[in-house]
Structure 1
Amino acid sequence: MQNFDSYDLIIDARSPREYEEDHIPGAINLPVVDNAEYAEVGTLHRTDPLAAYQLGARYSLMNIARHIEQHVAKYPAKSRILVYCFRGGKRSKVWFDVLDTIGYRVEKLKGGWKAYRRWVNEEMATFPAGFRYVVVSGPTGCGKTRLLGALHQAGAQVLDLEGIATHRGSIIGAVPGKNQPTQKMFDSLLLRQLKQFDPARPVWVESESKKIGKVQLPDALLERMRGGFTVSVDAPMPQRVQLLREDYAHFEQDPQSMIDRLAFLRPLIGGEEFSAWEDLAARREVPALFERLMRNHYDPTYRRSTLRNYPDIDKSPKVMLEDLSAEGLLPVARELRAQFDVADDAKAA
């Protein structure tokens, strides 16, 4: 595969539906035909191929003319442009010919998105194993994700899996107003992030299960994480409750919606405990509900899962996060980053 960062513009010539499923990160969708046009041309092709090609050509020329005016015209002469479609065939060729005629330094991705997809799958099977991971582990609400943000600000290499997945990782972890990427798009985004890392330096990551919402982590990454170095973090319960109130403010406004998402846990935790959750939600005592959820469900569940995946977690360095604000976490992040990067630099020397 090419170095995609070396292009001034990457054009995905496929339909919006294809683009939404997966695309090269950073590519913009300038379709030769839109979803409806693509379906119309495909249907016509089954009975009259010539008429289908004529119709497709008309749509293509009209759409490309609009895309040039609205998107491409701002790029100066000799800009490097990469264009691709599904297999590197007709749709990308139309774009290639037009851009080449204009004078851009244009290339067509050999094999198209299909070849790119095959490359992603091959890379995800091995590439994540080429890094050393420092895994931040700790109970729900203790500030793991915020600590990763502070580590990034401090200059560490951070792999924010929940950020890439657009999901906070728990049953109630869906982000309001945002959809998760498809599995293919998640893989593309994850691989792009890993490609930007220096293998000589550690990669900080939060402990995760196999699935984050509806997407799955690649086996090579999960196995390498579980063999990595762990740092155990925690925070006082009042701080944890406050964090949940901030990060899950939508449930504070509508606690019943949280109970609805947790309903399938009733057989697991028992009717009496679940009724207590319902009662707290009905009375809108959300801080007490958050605390009870953590003490009686999330903490013991997380503990069992952590011991199963990281059996030596109790031997890890322990960090108590007394202040989960950005200002409070940054000094901790700087200290952790210095500790681990200095250790790695010494090993390299």
Structure 2
Amino acid sequence: MIRRTVDLSPGARDAFDAIIDVRSPAEFAFDHIPGAVNLPVLDDAQRAAVGTEYVQGSKFLARRGGAALVARNIAAHLEGALADRDGSFQPLVYCWRGGQRSGAMVTVMDQVGWPVTLLDGGYQTWRRQVKAALYDAPLAHSLVLLDGPTGVGKTALLGVLAVRGVQTLDLEALAAHRGSLFGAMPGGQPSQKAFESRLHDALSRLDPARPVLVEAESSKIGARVVPPSLWAAMSAAPTIRLESPVAVRAARTVRDYADFAADRLALDTALTRLPRHIGKQMVAEWRALAAAGEVETLAAELIVHHYDPAYRRQGQGRGGGRARPERAVVGIGSLDDAALEAAADQTVEALAGLNAR
């Protein structure tokens, strides 16, 4: 018997042995339910061919040809990716709207004897829930921003705090971008919708009754826009500010961006994309430092003359011009692990003070 559901809460999704997206690879790559695997019943070329025949030729031939392709593809999945699944396998299956593609897959799975569940409304059900959470309603979580200038160690501290059990939201990891001129990561960024899917999944797994520590970002991370409900909560959130000497920040930046710094061509290209107000002479001097391999000196120059002024401007713009309450100032005086652990201690203490209010 084919079950049906619209429950996509974390607990409901985690109860399935697999979430199977039967849409084409291109649809899956653009966005999908986090944790899903792609077992397409039509690949990209097949879907395009069937659609063209349906619109421009014969609807009957399109259906007949499409059915043959779907049958062959499902057979390949049964003999391939699903071959080791026993009779207890409990999958959730979806397509674009919960129609013919997922219907074909669940019909076969049901006949095999698997207790299969169909997602009513398909991917569109998931997308409506994401939009409702990130666009249409206030965020349920109490955020605390981890603020501080470039190179101060915000991302590293978030990692240490997450290990300690502090609730954290790593926007740079979710957006696959480190939020700076040199912030691109291998593989590029997810689509805007995929970024939002990752955000919704991460937030839905956090306890709204406990504070969530999130790195202070601008409203865009690379090319991805922070959705309005989250941005409104970030704009109103209290802050814990990190401080560190410029020399330490420069050293940390070089260490964190070691792969990028080693690519002289990529580094030089990035420097040519600096804002126009920097000035041609200064950019030329920085490009010369990069060419000479003096990356730590370059990092310090960028911090003092580019990133810190930008950080001050962004701080004035956050919160609609209103000053947000600053709950603590935490210093990280070196690159040593001990300094990071001490900063984590202070941050946990500051968060505990917020809980007590």
Q: Counterpart of 2:124 in 1: which secondary structure?
A: helix
1:47 and 1:326 map into 2 onto residues whose CA distance is 67
The alignment's TM-score, normalised by the length of structure 1, stands at 0.93
Map Cα deviations across residues 74-127 of structure 1 (whole Å, 9 max, x no partner). Answer: 333233211111111110011110111111111111111123212211121255
Superposition deviation, residue 42 in structure 1: 1.5
1:42-61 deviations in Å (ceiling 9; x for gaps): 12223122222222122212
Report the Cα distance in structure 1 between the residues aligned to 2:250 and 2:205, rounded to whole angstroms: 35
Q: Secondary structure at the match of 1:72?
A: coil
1:69 aligns with 2:79: yes
Query: What corresponds to 1:119 in structure 2?
Result: 129
Task: Tell me the equivalent position of 1:147.
Answer: 157
Residue-pair matches, total: 345
Identity %: 39
Matching residue's letter, 1:8: D
C-alpha separation in 2, matches of 1:79 and 1:342: 47
- Separation in 1, partners of 2:38, 2:166: 33
Contact 2:237/2:324 (8 A) holds in 1: no
Uncovered stretches (5+) of structure 2, i.e. residues with no partner: 1-5
Give the stretch that moved more between structures: 329-338 or 290-299: 329-338
For residue 190 of structure 1, give the secondary structure of its aligned residue in structure 2. Answer: helix
Shift of 1:276: 1.5
Selected match of 2:167 from 134, 157, 161? 157
Distance 1:135 1:158 in 2: 10
Instruction: Tell me how far 1:239 sits from its aligned partner.
Output: 1.9
Match of 1:274 in 2: 283
Contact 2:20 2:91 in 1 (8 A): yes
Q: Which runs of 5+ in 1 are unaligned?
A: none
Query: Using a 3 Å threshold, how does the CA distance of structure 1 residues 224 and 286 change in structure 2: closer, same or farther?
Result: same
Residue 323 of structure 1: which of 334, 340, 350 is its match?
334
CA deviations on 1:23-47 (whole Å, 9 max, x unpaired) are 1111100000111111121122231
Could you tell which deviates more after superposition, 313-322 or 145-154?
A: 313-322
SS in 2 for 1:319: strand
* Aligned mate of 1:340, from 328, 341, 351: 351
Query: How far apart in 2 are the matches of 1:131 and 1:314?
Result: 17
5, 10, 27: which one aligns with 2:19: 10
In the other structure, the counterpart of 1:35 is 44
What is the match of residue 143 of structure 2? 133
Q: Residue 143 of structure 1 aligns to which amino acid in structure 2?
A: G
Match among 198, 208, 215 for residue 189 of structure 1: 198
Q: 1:257 aligns with which of 261, 266, 274?
A: 266
Instruction: Decide which moves more: 251-260 or 233-242.
Output: 251-260
Q: CA deviation at 1:281?
A: 1.8
Number of the residue aligned with 1:52: 62
CA RMSD of aligned residues (A): 1.9
C-alpha offsets along residues 242-282 of structure 1, whole Å, 9 cap, x if unaligned? 21112211332233422322324352111221122122122
Indicate the larger mover: 245-254 or 198-207: 245-254
- The letter of the residue matching 1:15 is S
TM-score, structure 2 normalization? 0.91
- The whole-number CA distance in structure 2 between the counterparts of 1:9 and 1:258 is 42
Corresponding residue for residue 302 of structure 1: 311
Shift of 1:184: 0.5
| Contact 2:238/2:324 (<8 A) preserved | no
Provide closer, same or farther for how the CA distance between residues 17 and 312 of structure 1 changes in structure 2, counting only shifts above 3 A. same
| Contact 2:246 2:303 survives alignment (8 Å) | no
Q: Distance in 1 between matches of 2:127 and 2:150?
A: 35
Measured in 2, the distance between the counterparts of 1:191 and 1:105 equals 28
- The equivalent residue for 1:84 is 94
Note the alpha carbon deviations across 1:141-190, whole angstroms, 9 max, x for none: 11011111111011100000000000001122101x22210000001010
Distance 1:142 1:61 in 2: 56
Partner secondary structure for residue 201 of structure 1? coil
Equivalence for 2:3: none
Secondary structure of 2:341's aligned partner: helix
